[in-house]
Amino acid sequence: MNSLNEENYLKALLNLSLADGEVNVKDLSKHLNIKMPSVTSMMKKMAEKGWVHYESYKPLRLTEQGKKEAALIIRKHRLTEMFLVEKMGFRWDEVHDIAEQIEHVKAPEFFAKMDELLEFPKFDPHGSPIPDKNGTLVWATWVKLSECEPGDEVKIVAVTKSSEEFLKFLNSREIALGLEMTIISIEPFDKSMVVRYKNHEAETLSATVCERLLVSK
């Protein structure tokens, strides 16, 4: 049985390794808001348990087992987010913190029921894929908005690193999943984009924003 604590480490490890490839102690420490020595000692413990490969001074890597465990927690998190939005009427920017807590609930039948009531969703409210029951997680081959060209017509399919503030920003610009937009121009100086969609004739999106929006063409 893994403790709440270990679960948080696992999840952070998977999230960070998805985003940046490898994970180092510093990042994990920052992400979890736990000092580095504590992280090191937890990594040793988790290495014993077979969740991570740990070697002094080397980057951290999850084992296959660890990846699976982590994905199953992320599955619970994302199913919960979807349930909160679809069945309870929360907005997409409200659900993260609640799901953060519910994801640690141990009752499999609870999540199975959510899954069923939601008719086995493949994505959460932010467009992130929900790992399957075996802990398999596949990202669709979407591209970042920042990688697109002027003239491209794209559809928003997912949001990465979705903090509450970021989602509220998107709300304020009426940007949501499924929205189609046309790229008008890219400012070479700061890589910000001017885009057109719905009744927004020329909205400017910073590079930071464009980095975090995934689209399909």
Partner DNA sequence: GTAAATAGTTAGACTAGACTAACAATTATT
Partner DNA sequence: AATAATTGTTAGTCTAGTCTAACTATTTAC
**Footprint of its own copies on this chain (CB under 8 A)?**
84, 87-90, 94, 97-98, 101-102, 104-107, 109-110, 113-114, 117
Which lies closer to its own copies via its Cβ, residue 115 or residue 152? 115
Which lies closer to its own copies via its Cβ, residue 35 or residue 106? 106
d(CA 1, CA 86): 31
User: CB under 5 to 8 A by kind: which of its own copies, DNA, none does 140 bind?
Assistant: none
User: CB under 5 to 8 A by kind: which of its own copies, DNA, none does 110 bind?
Assistant: its own copies
Binding region for DNA (CB under 7 A) out of 52-60, 167-175, 181-189, 195-203: 52-60
Encoded tokens for 78: 């994302």
Strands in 193-197's sheet, in edge-to-edge order, are 143-144, 213-216, 153-159, 180-186, 193-197, 200-205
CA torsion through residues 136, 139, 140, 141, sign? negative
Which lies closer to its own copies via its Cβ, residue 67 or residue 76? 76
Instruction: Based on the shown chain and the rule CB under 7 A, indicate whether residue 168 belongs to the binding site for DNA.
Output: no
d(CA 21, CA 118): 32
